[in-house]
Amino acid sequence: MKYGFLLGVLGSLFLSAFGQTTVKKNTTPSPSVSGPNIKVRVSPLKNTVVYLGSYYGKSRVLVDSVKLNAQSEAVFQRKEKYPGGIYFLVSPEKYILQEFLMDQQQRFSLLGDTSKKEEFQILGSEDNSLFLQYTKESGSLAIQLQQIDASFQQATTEEEKNRLRYEYKKFDDQLKQLRFSFIQKNPKSNLSAFLNAMKRPDVPPIPIIDGRPDSLYPYRYVKEHFWDDVLFNDERLLRTPFFEPKIDEYFSQYVSPDADSIIPEIKYMLLSAKGTKELYPYLLMKFTNKYIQPEYMGQDKVFVYLFEQFYLKGDTTILNAASKKTVIERGYSLIANQIGSLAPQLLLAKKEGGRFVLNDLSASFTFISFWDPNCGHCKETVPRVDSIYKASWKNFGVALVGVNTDEAAMAEWNRFIEEKTLTNWIHVYQPKQEKEADFKQGVPNYRQLYDIRSTPTFYLLDKDKRIIAKQLTLEQFDQLIKNKSK
């Protein structure tokens, strides 16, 4: 399967509507004895199409279809087995009629009535008999928890909130006990594997160490045991509604947002999933999408790690052509400008003549602005940089370097500099012939080395020309310079 870049509680709580999805229509059942044979009877539907769907990460997808006959019956049948996970029978209107488990034993029957969804039967599958029993017992507890949570949101007194907290814990403990009981009685069932993967470690009390409370112990304990019962090479997890949200919760609540904390976690998951047909590519694309355009400065280091350790070692084969081009271009663009690394050398022409060599510039800080004289946002922002410099930065030894990214707009560039009296800057550009020479020789120019995809783009360097910051607001740059100066 080729993956495009930017991908697009068990049981009754998931009876919800579908969006339109392309699905293969099962019009000629395979006579295979070993393949799936899932018989369905859905009254009172007749001579209409029903669908087979599954979870897929955070999405729900339709994977097969079949037409019911005049007796409301049909068979999902093909040569290849369906991948394991949580599936559902879907109505012609794209509503989930019944969820069920799909694993190696794929020869069973789904029988029910659209007006009595709670009475659907699954015959010929021990796992699904357990599944129906569990969802029936857990469903009422889940509804109680939802109602208590809704009441808590409306509560106005602390007394009422405390009462609701007590009630919530009581039902939540019952649900946990139900899960525990099912796992203990059926340790080798598919349902137990899913229930184990769903659960979160119970938060332990704060211990007293040498007379002092260790307030971080509960956090450390939960983090260390968060994945105790999850195997990242279990392909079935991809087709559940809880696996990917659990990953997102883990990174949101238990992993520091700095790249050096994120990378070991991703490395563990990817190497554990390596070799799986679908789960490994899905996780690799998930992390690629998240960190190629990161939420926080410096997290693009995570994408660079993925690029160097996975894509450059052959994993671009999972990408389609457009995605492969994007990943490779972004990877090589970001390698050269990571936080803490030496800034790429700049050898450019000065506005007034002569050559500019970045490494020859002596300053406590160097603020580089890559801007276009025909860019409306640049015309607004560059004078603001100049004002902040005059008010504050010049006292901290900051050198301003302005790079014209449009060498065809020299007249506009010169005119704007004069109109705004940007006299405190070193104004530089790359002559057209030098740009063309770089292209012919295959030499990366500053646009790639500094990842200039939009203007203005700002970088802050220290006295040794190491990158301190990028992709910040001017206010954030200002505060950072003041903090560093102290």
> Tokens for 199?
């659960």
Residue scoring higher pLDDT (70 or 103): 70
> Tokens for 389?
């410099």
102 within domain boundaries: yes
Examine the domain organization and report whether 414 and 472 are in the same domain.
yes
416 within domain boundaries: yes
Does the pLDDT at position 5 exceed 80? no
The secondary structure of residue 221, as a DSSP letter, is H
pLDDT, tens digit, for every residue of 304-360?
Answer: 999 999 999 888 888 889 999 999 989 999 999 999 999 999 999 999 999 999 999
Examine the domain organization and report whether 97 and 40 are in the same domain.
yes
Does the pLDDT at position 14 exceed 80? no
Provide the pLDDT for residue 23.
45
pLDDT, tens digit, for every residue of 353-398?
Answer: 999 999 999 999 999 999 999 999 999 999 999 999 999 999 999 9
How far apart CA 199 and CA 230 sit, in angstroms, is: 10
Examine the domain organization and report whether 358 and 285 are in the same domain.
no
Q: Among the listed ranges 168-182, 216-230, 359-373, 458-472, which one has the minimum average pLDDT value? A: 168-182
Residue whose C-alpha is closest to residue 456's, from 351, 399, 372: 372
Examine the domain organization and report whether 166 and 214 are in the same domain.
no
389 within domain boundaries: yes
Does the pLDDT at position 180 exceed 80? yes
The secondary structure of residue 298, as a DSSP letter, is T
How far apart CA 440 and CA 265 sit, in angstroms, is: 41
pLDDT, tens digit, for every residue of 41-67?
Answer: 999 999 999 999 999 999 999 999 999
Examine the domain organization and report whether 360 and 448 are in the same domain.
yes
How far apart CA 33 and CA 404 sit, in angstroms, is: 69
Examine the domain organization and report whether 153 and 59 are in the same domain.
no
Highest mean pLDDT among 22-31, 146-155, 380-389: 380-389
Mean predicted lDDT score pLDDT of the chain: 90
Q: At which of 164, 198, 232 does a domain end?
A: 198
3 within domain boundaries: no
Examine the domain organization and report whether 314 and 401 are in the same domain.
no
Examine the domain organization and report whether 162 and 223 are in the same domain.
no
Examine the domain organization and report whether 213 and 323 are in the same domain.
yes
Q: What percent of the chain has pLDDT over 90?
A: 79
CA distances to 37, 52, 159, 287 from 290, rounded to whole Å, are 39, 30, 42, 5
86 within domain boundaries: yes
Provide the pLDDT for residue 33.
54
pLDDT bucket at 20, cuts 50 / 70 / 90: very low
H or E stretch covering 368 = strand 365-371
Q: At which of 176, 198, 220 does a domain end?
A: 198
The domain containing residue 285 runs over which residues? 208-335
Examine the domain organization and report whether 143 and 223 are in the same domain.
no
282 within domain boundaries: yes
- Give residue 250's Cα distance to chain centre: 12
Residue whose C-alpha is closest to residue 48's, from 73, 16, 17, 30: 73
Examine the domain organization and report whether 80 and 108 are in the same domain.
yes
pLDDT, tens digit, for every residue of 112-141?
Answer: 999 888 889 999 999 999 999 998 888 889
Q: At which of 124, 156, 178 does a domain end?
A: 124
297 within domain boundaries: yes
pLDDT, tens digit, for every residue of 428-454?
Answer: 999 999 999 988 998 889 999 999 999
Examine the domain organization and report whether 301 and 396 are in the same domain.
no
Provide the pLDDT for residue 439.
87
How far apart CA 374 and CA 473 sit, in angstroms, is: 21
Residues with Cβ < 8 Å from 317, sequence gap 6 or more?
none
How far apart CA 270 and CA 286 sit, in angstroms, is: 11
CATH value at residue 389: 3.40.30.10
Residue whose C-alpha is closest to residue 286's, from 338, 316, 248: 248
325 within domain boundaries: yes
Provide the pLDDT for residue 18.
47
CATH value at residue 46: 2.60.40.1120
The total number of structural domains in the chain stands at 4
Residues with Cβ < 8 Å from 483, sequence gap 6 or more?
none
Kindly state the average pLDDT of the residues 182-197. 91
